[in-house]
Every structure is written in C-alpha cells, then in structure tokens.
Amino acid sequence: MLQLNLPEYNFHIKKVDEKFQIFDSQRKRFVSLTPEEWVRQHFIRFLIEVKGYPSALLAVEKQLNLNGMKKRCDAVLYDREANPVMIIEFKAPTVAINQETFDQVAVYNSKLKVALFIISNGLEHYCCKVNQETARYEFFPEIPDFNSLFVI
C-alpha cells in the first residue's frame, strides 16, 4: 500500500481468497483492505494515539437515514454525552479532495448537525469548523487534539 502523510503503524493483515483484509480494532473484525480503508485505519490510529481521541467515542461506518436512503459516514466523533460533534470522511490517496468531497460531508451533516469536520485522503488532511453565521468553513492549521476541540 501507498505511504501516507501519517505515522506508520503495524496492522494485522491477512489474505483471504486472493484479497487482503485488515483488522479494524474499532469494529473488532477484519475488513477488505481497500486504499480508502488503508487511510481510515492509519487516520483513526493517528487520532487515538497522537491526538488523544478516545476510541470509545469514535464510531466507524456510522449509518444514517437521509430522506429514506441509507448513507454511511466514514467516522463520527461523539462527545462524552454521546452527542455527535465531528464527521470524519476518508478518501483513497488517489482521490483529490475537492468541493464535491465537502458537499458529501454537508449532506451527512444535514442529519447530524455538527460544527466540525475532518477530511483526509491520507496525503492531505483538512479540519474545519462551520461558521453558523456565514455558512463558511473555517480551516484549522492542523488536526486539533481531542482536549482542545471543546474550547475551539
């Protein structure tokens, strides 16, 4: 797999029927090792191990019902009162992050109504807050630590 702009981690990877699977410690099971999954696994570990995000507050592949259609957020961060506070969207390293990516997150946010987003393709990472008055994104210079999220 491609080298990412994230710390390197060791993962439990196995081959099943000529396809690779990676153990997802959040979902407690093996999942297909796609380029997007490679990014997700690295980024979730980065959030937990480097930025101090509690693993118990991160939901991976969170299903939403939007206008009768089932959609899935790549990850959602909750606060300690179980309220969603951040949508996290991952793309494969070959997928450019553009307005379409932000629009996808905005669709998820029509249901969750959070103020914070992270979007990463493993090479580029964006963290932003939605300014409710202007409906514009305010970008952070880096991914914030968990403890600083609630003073932002």
List of domains in the chain: 13-149 (3.90.1570.30)
- Supply the pLDDT for residue 151: 64
Q: Which two tokens stand for residue 26?
A: 């959040």
Specify the pLDDT at position 152: 56
Nearest to 10 by CA among 23, 26, 27, 28: 23
| Residues of the chain predicted below pLDDT 70 | 66, 151-152
Q: Classify residue 8 as exposed, middle or buried by CB count within 10 Å of its CB (0-12, 13-18, 19+).
A: exposed
Model's pTM, two decimal places? 0.91
